[in-house]
Structure 1
Amino acid sequence: MERGLLWLPLLGVFIWLAWAGWNEYQKLEAYKQWAATFERAKYDIYAVLGQQGDRLVWGKPTRQGPVALQEVTLSALQTLTLYSAERPLPEKANLPKGCTIAIGLELDDNTQQWIPFTDADLALAWKNQLQTLQESLQSTPQT
């Protein structure tokens, strides 16, 4: 009887792990459907992000699909900055490991939006890609 009671918490842990895995799988499947409409997309436990042309859309992943979606055009951006612990990172700084990092988007109306990442290298790659795209859009003559 005592052995059965000792194994009961372990059974609870296994049930919780199975539920957590199923929950994450459902989020990934919903993300895949959402991301199909974008040129580039990323999934993260903190945020999903998609880029189509000069449009940037991000939100929070859920099993039903991304929620709290926010959208901005690259032409409305003034600056893109990497942040760690809400402090800007210098351009040539070593990227921190094991902490949340975010891309800060400063818009023309002096508001700021944050896109969180768990992987600093991925955040840097997205920032560089978005800056390149923004520069190419600004250098293209408007007709």
Structure 2
Amino acid sequence: MSHGLLWLPLLLVFVLLTALGWLERRRQRLFREWAEGSELAKLDSCGGARLVDGLLSWCSFEAGQLKQDDFFVIKQLELVELLSLGSGEAPLTEESQGACRLRLVGGGEQKDLPFADSERARRWIDELMSRSRCEL
């Protein structure tokens, strides 16, 4: 009887890991369907983003579905800044790593696109600026 009780926590951990894996697989499947046909796309712990026909839109995963957060028209893009995610308006230095956000400025508005990885965000800056020039 005592040996059986020792296996119970392992069984609970297995069930928990299986459920988390199923949720992650569902999140990735929903993102793949949402981002199908996009020119540029990303999925990380901060959410998903896609660029389709000059419109950059981003979403988050909530309650088993993707929720559209915001969008930005790329041809209005004038400036992209790399800022830290959690500390106000502090710009991110070249050596900084980790979570950050892209501040998209143009057309009289500014919007923030969160990223979990600063290296990927830096690559997106180059891509977005080159595509905004192509749109003009």
SS of corresponding position for 2:108: coil
Q: What are the residue-to-residue correspondences of 1:83-102 with 2, within 5 Å?
A: 83-84=83-84, 85-86=86-87, 87-90=90-93, 93-96=94-97, 99-102=98-101
Contact 1:31 1:65 in 2 (8 A): no
In structure 2, how many angstroms separate the alpha carbons of the residues matched to 1:56 and 1:118?
Answer: 18
* Aligned-partner residue type, residue 108 of structure 2: D
Contact 1:55 1:72 in 2 (8 A): yes
* Aligned-partner residue type, residue 29 of structure 2: E
In structure 2, how many angstroms separate the alpha carbons of the residues matched to 1:3 and 1:104?
Answer: 56
Contiguous gaps of at least 5 residues in structure 2 = none
Deviation at 1:76, TM superposition (A): 2.8
Match of 1:141 in 2: none
In structure 1, how many angstroms separate the alpha carbons of the residues matched to 2:35 and 2:65?
Answer: 10
RMSD value, Cα: 2.0
Deviation at 1:5, TM superposition (A): 2.1
The C-alpha deviation readout for 1:83-122, integer Å capped at 9, x for no partner, is 22342124xx2241xx312111224334x32222222211
Match of 1:80 in 2: 80
Match of 1:104 in 2: 103
Contact 2:77 2:129 in 1 (8 A): no
How many pairs are equivalent? 133
Identity of aligned residues (%): 27
Cα 1:41–1:35 shift into 2, 3 Å = same
Contact 1:54 1:75 in 2 (8 A): yes
SS of corresponding position for 1:123: helix
Contiguous gaps of at least 5 residues in structure 1 = 139-143
> Structure 1 residue runs of 4+, over 3 Å off?
62-65
Does residue 19 in structure 1 map to residue 22 in structure 2? no
Deviation at 1:135, TM superposition (A): 2.5
